[in-house]
Structure 1
């Protein structure tokens, strides 16, 4: 049995945003082409808060083109500790096409993506050696090992969990029945199979990318996503939806070769406006740098959700900061100091670089936690005594890009470096909690850009009599 996680509805207070942009914020009729979190689950960018192959789970996901146009997008998987890329490639969806895949474990202790879908990718995915009719590609640790070490562990088990982003690169309304339209014609399915994915792949060589960016239209708000975390052996499935961002890039296509850092969340409109609702009223503010725009529409002062533990029940919260590495990892931002272990103010609400030695591969952000049971009992602003493992400083912190908060000694998603344990013994085994972010940098008033959900699994008796549910986070702005 499973419960779907509905797309997060944004009721965002953007006082912080006006400080960041240097502009005045005002209630107004929403301007056209302003970046916002979709209220309807369709967008140009899909931010999936989590993937995992831990604890017997596989991560199944789908992306749907809801339009009559040909669509190109980048899919990029990032590991949990520092958002270093573990695999990316391009996907081409023909009109009304649907692409699905699964992230699963390898016998060597890593993870790979496997699909039976025939949709064209660039590069083309190799045939699976173990599953007839499937193609697959293993995740890699090349961006956090050797010369690119970031202080955290560099072994392959680091690729077992993280999050991923879908960034649309452009759309085309060219006729899919005209053979001289190389991309559109060859990506189109005939009897369930694209005409020629090898020719589609060649369009993402440098000359082909230039051609695509010369004629394709800007991205449109037409992609839908979904994901399921499933453990077949014990009969558990947990559903979740990505955060969909509208009007990320409205000025032109942003096609790029696979295997690189582009496009990323830094490749939206360089300047623009962000929109949201607060108390039912539209508000907007200017931004400079698309990463700053994404950060502001995701920024929250606190996160609210439920927990249920006790006999046969486990709850874990996923807390993912999808823009954090753009501010805290010099490999991503290109602005890091020579001495990475100095604590500069870095922006986005984050106050520390991803340290290479002093903190052994962490960038930590202070939190507070108020816990309530189901009968109004409460413990507020818990200190170190109710968290495990105990932090080394006087603060309780989240130190990674994708964090898992486990309640009362059990975990839906298994063990990991990026875990924070919370005890609710002072109030009971079930209730709700509010996690507060107290960080503030030189240009923001506090709060952090965050996405995620709460997952609960219950053992109803027997190895295969289990069920899972997920609940979208609520937010204070």
Structure 2
């Protein structure tokens, strides 16, 4: 019997991967042949592939399609189930995607894995509380993930959490999703497996081995079949470090382009309540307000290799690829003193994150200033998400048992400040560690130090609550009823310093009533305030004005906030057998 060409290729490919001990980020190329990274040719007649022009700017896409996505909140508390539908709307390119669930209190990683999507593909997963109390991910989707998700689910981890949070800390948080690389559908290879790892170029007639392994056939991706040659090949590719564009493109990777979108919903079957929304999309564009472009290749192996074998090459280390203050070597404490890290050993699975250099103009090149490139990206993303005010509606009408929760998620705060659980106490100077984004003030190679002043999160506007959460001050909160009556700025979030407003934790839930719509844990980031009115709207001011000596950074003020209002109502007169509880979700409105 003639053996499958793909099966025969595995041994040769595995051999060619051996001995690579480092990973890297590199820019896409604009080759008309599509033989190297960054090329995007239509997969079928009439379908236009994404442009190959290099991206220069990161912007929020109001159409909710992009390179990066943020789901502002997930919960598995009190019978809640959170479901994500991730779509690849790109019909010309597959996507190698990283999805990471982060805990609400400190953005600690509680579960991450890779998803390999074919053109036009959708992946679906659900998170609910498992038997051991931890959040657990379930999926029976035919799209391939690395690792493969077992039928019994995969529990979220507590290793990175504060020990006082334990499994409770896994049950709430937010989700970040990245396109690490495209998987182009063009037939540019000389055979199913390129000989010697060399791409065939324009004369090729075969798809890449990665595309062939992940492309659905009759509704099933070959790599989804346990024990198959395609499954083994995909695992090997996902565990491999690619250090050049030629190496990555030889198996089928391309530069990252736009096309990802996601929808989420939170379902509580016992309460017959559902809430839903769309993920916020960040798009790498060729120019401000322009079309989506090609971003850097940022695939890292899905392994727990540590810093000893982390990166190779001059001026390349964890600081080159992340602004996370717990993973970096050079950070600062609450007293603005330099601290030598990392506090948490950086692993390959920690990357990419939202600060990994994504624009081709800032791909690490081994220069002395490359350690500032992730800070440049953190500044750009935080600026794109910053809002000077947040407003939304609330309903507290006792006649319909109305309750309202507001979610505030700050997905880029982790790249400015994070809690160090290894500190002696929460009041110790080294409990709050800062990346010092102000260091990118002039140019990556010649930074200007301004003492943690000209940025969104700094020692003067952050504090720590009794639960160990880092809090950032807001400027005020004002309630309005439906007839123009208003309170001024009297009410405050709790817990908070008297006379101040604060968002505590990276994803916090504010309940405007004694009942909690989302059943958020008061041991994590839940807070409560009281409205003097039954129904109306609320304005939270988040000006966060610059207070430094000289604003030499690109600091624009505001806070990087995403979120929604969740309103639950009950019809007590509903007959037996009829649903009596209803849920509404309204996205926040923002001032810039």
Report the TM-score, using the length of structure 1 for normalisation. Answer: 0.79
1:165 paired with 2:198, answer no
SS in 1 for 2:119: coil
Equivalent residue runs for 1:216-255 within 5 Å: 216-247=253-284, 250-255=294-299
SS in 2 for 1:202: helix
Paired with 2:566 and 2:131, the residues of 1 have a C-alpha distance of 27
RMSD: 3.1
Paired with 1:459 and 1:238, the residues of 2 have a C-alpha distance of 15
Judge which range, 38-47 or 83-92, deviates more.
38-47
Q: Any conservation in 1 of the 2:413–2:457 contact (CA below 8 Å)?
A: yes
Spell out, residue by residue over 1:215-272, the C-alpha distance to the aligned partner (whole angstroms, 9 max, x if none).
6322111011000111122221111111101007844311111252111111133687
Query: 2:580 aligns to what?
Result: 465
1:63 paired with 2:73, answer no
Return closer, same or farther for 1:363/1:271 CA change in 2, 3 Å cut-off: farther
Query: 2:530 aligns to what?
Result: 423
1:446 paired with 2:557, answer yes
Query: 2:26 aligns to what?
Result: none
Q: Any conservation in 2 of the 1:351–1:440 contact (CA below 8 Å)?
A: no
Query: 1:283 aligns to what?
Result: none
Q: 2:517 aligns with which of 399, 406, 412?
A: 412
Paired with 1:354 and 1:382, the residues of 2 have a C-alpha distance of 20
Q: 1:322 aligns with which of 407, 411, 415?
A: 411
Q: 2:155 aligns with which of 124, 135, 138?
A: 138
1:195 paired with 2:219, answer no
Q: Which runs of 5+ in 1 are unaligned?
A: 1-30, 129-135, 274-286
1:212 paired with 2:248, answer yes
Paired with 2:168 and 2:581, the residues of 1 have a C-alpha distance of 27
Paired with 2:464 and 2:489, the residues of 1 have a C-alpha distance of 30
Query: 1:340 aligns to what?
Result: 430
Equivalent residue runs for 1:77-116 within 5 Å: 77-116=101-140
1:307 paired with 2:394, answer yes
Return closer, same or farther for 1:264/1:36 CA change in 2, 3 Å cut-off: same
Q: What's the CA shift for 1:352?
A: 3.9
Q: Any conservation in 2 of the 1:295–1:348 contact (CA below 8 Å)?
A: no
Q: What's the CA shift for 1:172?
A: 2.4
Paired with 2:65 and 2:273, the residues of 1 have a C-alpha distance of 27
Q: Which runs of 5+ in 2 are unaligned?
A: 1-53, 194-207, 224-230, 286-292, 304-348, 363-373, 422-426, 435-451
1:50 paired with 2:60, answer no
Paired with 2:183 and 2:413, the residues of 1 have a C-alpha distance of 32
Paired with 1:327 and 1:85, the residues of 2 have a C-alpha distance of 16
Return closer, same or farther for 1:294/1:445 CA change in 2, 3 Å cut-off: closer
Return closer, same or farther for 1:400/1:355 CA change in 2, 3 Å cut-off: same
1:432 paired with 2:468, answer no
Spell out, residue by residue over 1:112-148, the C-alpha distance to the aligned partner (whole angstroms, 9 max, x if none).
11001011111122231xxxxxxx2110110125xxx
Paired residues, what number? 413
Return closer, same or farther for 1:291/1:377 CA change in 2, 3 Å cut-off: same
Q: What's the CA shift for 1:445?
A: 5.3
CA radius of gyration, larger in = 2
Query: 2:24 aligns to what?
Result: none
* Greater relative CO, 1 or 2 (CA 8 Å, sep 6+): 1
1:365 paired with 2:389, answer no
Q: What's the CA shift for 1:304?
A: 0.7
Q: 1:183 aligns with which of 210, 213, 230?
A: 210
Q: What's the CA shift for 1:348?
A: 4.2
SS in 2 for 1:379: coil
Query: 2:445 aligns to what?
Result: none
Spell out, residue by residue over 1:325-370, the C-alpha distance to the aligned partner (whole angstroms, 9 max, x if none).
11111769xxxx9931579747641124999988552211122101
Paired with 2:219 and 2:455, the residues of 1 have a C-alpha distance of 45
Q: What's the CA shift for 1:202?
A: 1.3
Q: Any conservation in 2 of the 1:269–1:289 contact (CA below 8 Å)?
A: no
Report the TM-score, using the length of structure 2 for normalisation. Answer: 0.64
Paired with 2:254 and 2:155, the residues of 1 have a C-alpha distance of 32
Q: Any conservation in 1 of the 2:138–2:151 contact (CA below 8 Å)?
A: no
More strand by share: 1
Paired with 2:559 and 2:360, the residues of 1 have a C-alpha distance of 21
Paired with 2:232 and 2:172, the residues of 1 have a C-alpha distance of 31
Q: Any conservation in 2 of the 1:172–1:216 contact (CA below 8 Å)?
A: yes
SS in 1 for 2:357: coil
Paired with 1:354 and 1:380, the residues of 2 have a C-alpha distance of 22
